[in-house]
Amino acid sequence: MLLKTFNLIILLFLLSACGSEQDSAMGHAGDNDHDFWVSLETAERQALDEGKYIVLDIYTEWCGYCRRMNQETYADQRVNEALDRFFYPVRIDAESSENVTFQGSNYEMRDLAVEFGVRSYPTTVFISPDGEVIAAQTGFIEPETFHRMLSFVGSESYKDKTFREYTDSAE
């Protein structure tokens, strides 16, 4: 199981774009915002009750790839369907002093990003219904790839397949 999780993390890393570079697009990460975001506290409670996963979008306002992910990837219909089916999506501003609670501990959003080891933006973190971090992915993720990642985690295929095996079997 540990090897499969490690393979997932490595594969997801290889699929990512370099998330520490800035895009020249204007606007903020919140531009073209979506109505499906929930608070971390709500996501934790409901994920456990309903058996859904949590996907954290850790971003900053100045990050061009964060804006692009919000405007392109999270706006994609197939991504929205997978989010609705399997996940509670949560946004965390990695530079915000706003307080959030995660697993019973209080954090400022920026401190929680540090707890997750975030070093570049955007970073997407997949969390199981019981609060276990499954994987983290840095960088912009194209809508098709993100849809596959959401389906891979949400269908629990990550428990017995690598991401490569999953995508190869889907073709």
Q: Are 68 and 58 in contact (CB under 8 A)?
A: no
pTM: 0.80
Task: Give tens-digit pLDDT for 125-167.
Answer: 999 999 999 999 999 999 999 999 999 999 999 999 999 999 9
Residues 110 and 89: their CA atoms lie apart, in Å, by 18
The domain made up of 2-160 is a member of CATH 3.30.450.20: no
Q: Where are the domains of the chain?
A: 2-160
Q: Is 77 left (phi over 0), alpha (psi -120 to 50) or beta?
A: alpha
Residue 125 has a pLDDT of 98
Residue 12 has a pLDDT of 46
